[in-house]
A and B are shown apart, each in its own frame.
Chain A
Amino acid sequence: MIKVENLTKRFGRVTAIDNLSFEVKAGEIVGFLGPNGAGKTTTMRILSCFLPATGGKITIGGYDVFRDSLEIRQKIGYLPENVPLYVDMRVKEYLNFRAVLKGLAGKKKRERVLEVIEACGLSEVKNTIIGRLSKGYRQRLGLADSLVHEPELLILDEPTIGLDPNQIRHIRNLIKGLGRSHTVLLSSHILPEVEMTCDRVLIMNKGKIVASGTPGTLVGVLSRNPRVIAEINGVPEKVIASLEKVPGIVKVSCDAGAGREWNRYVCDCRKDADVKPEIFRMISSNGWLMRELAAEKRNLEDVFVEVTMEETEP
Chain B
Amino acid sequence: MRNFLAIWRRELAACFLSPIAYVTMVFFLVASNCTFLFGTIKNVGNSVFLTSLLFASIILWLTVLVSVVSMRLFADEIRSGTIEMLMTAPVTETEVVLGKYAGALTFVLFVLVPSVASIYLLAIMGPGKGIVDTGAVIAGCVIIFLIASFWMSLGLVVSLMTKNQIAAAISCLCLIWLMLFLGNIVAAFPFISPRAVTFLSSLAHVDDFARGSVDTRPVILYLSATVFMLFTAVRVLESRRWK
Contacts and interface: CB of A to CB of B under 8 A. Distances in A.
A88 B18 CA distance: 8
Interface in A66-125: 66, 69-71, 73-74, 76, 78, 80, 82, 84-89, 97-98, 100-103, 105
A73 to B, nearest CB: 4
A145 interface: yes
Q: Which of B3, B10, B92, B242 has the most CB of A within 10 A?
A: B10
Contact of B81 (A51, A84, A102, A145): A84
B90 A103 contact: yes
Contacts of A87: 80
Given A52-B242, A52-B243, A84-B82, A102 B14 contact: no
A288 interface: no
Interface stretch (A14-22, A42-50, A166-174): A42-50
A42 to B, nearest CB: 12
A69 B84 CA distance: 14
B10 A97 contact: yes
A5 B235 CA distance: 28
B243 A45 contact: no
B142 to A, nearest CB: 33
A108 to B, nearest CB: 13
A82 B243 CA distance: 26
A259 B9 CA distance: 80
Contacts of B240: 51-52
Given A100-B3, A101-B3, A85 B90 contact: no
Given A74-B90, A86-B82, A102-B90, A97 B17 contact: no
B91 interface: yes
Nearest to B19: A88
A54 interface: yes
A4 interface: no
Contacts of A78: 88
Given A84-B80, A84-B85, A70 B90 contact: yes
Given A52-B241, A69-B241, A86-B10, A98 B89 contact: yes
B59 to A, nearest CB: 30
B87 interface: yes
B20 to A, nearest CB: 11
Contacts of B242: 52
A48 B89 CA distance: 9
Q: Looking at B13, B17, B89, B92, which has the most chain A CB atoms within 10 Å of its CB?
A: B89
A53 interface: yes
A143 B128 CA distance: 65
Interface string A20-57: 00000000000000000000000001001111111000
B6 A101 contact: yes
B81 A80 contact: yes
A233 B17 CA distance: 74
A145 B88 CA distance: 12
B87 A101 contact: no
A101 B85 CA distance: 11
A95 to B, nearest CB: 12
Given A98-B89, A105-B2, A80 B10 contact: no
Nearest to A74: B90
A73 B85 contact: no
A53 B241 CA distance: 9
Contacts of A98: 85, 89
A82 B81 contact: yes
A53 B10 CA distance: 31
B85 A45 contact: no
Nearest to A71: B90
A97 B6 contact: yes
Nearest to B18: A88
Contact of A102 (B18, B83, B89): B89
A145 B14 contact: no
B243 to A, nearest CB: 5
A8 B9 CA distance: 39
Contacts of A52: 240-243
B243 A101 contact: no
Interface in B5-36: 6-7, 9-10, 13-14, 17-18
Interface of A: 45, 48-54, 66, 69-71, 73-74, 76, 78, 80, 82, 84-89, 97-98, 100-103, 105, 145
27 contacts: A45-B84, A48-B88, A52-B240, A52-B243, A53-B243, A54-B243, A66-B243, A69-B241, A71-B90, A73-B89, A76-B88, A80-B81, A84-B81, A84-B83, A84-B84, A85-B82, A86-B14, A88-B14, A89-B17, A97-B6, A97-B9, A97-B10, A100-B3, A101-B3, A102-B89, A102-B90, A145-B85
Given A101-B3, A101-B89, A101-B90, 19 more contacts: A45-B84, A49-B241, A50-B84, A70-B90, A73-B89, A80-B84, A80-B88, A82-B81, A84-B81, A84-B83, A85-B85, A86-B10, A86-B14, A87-B80, A89-B10, A89-B17, A102-B89, A102-B90, A103-B90
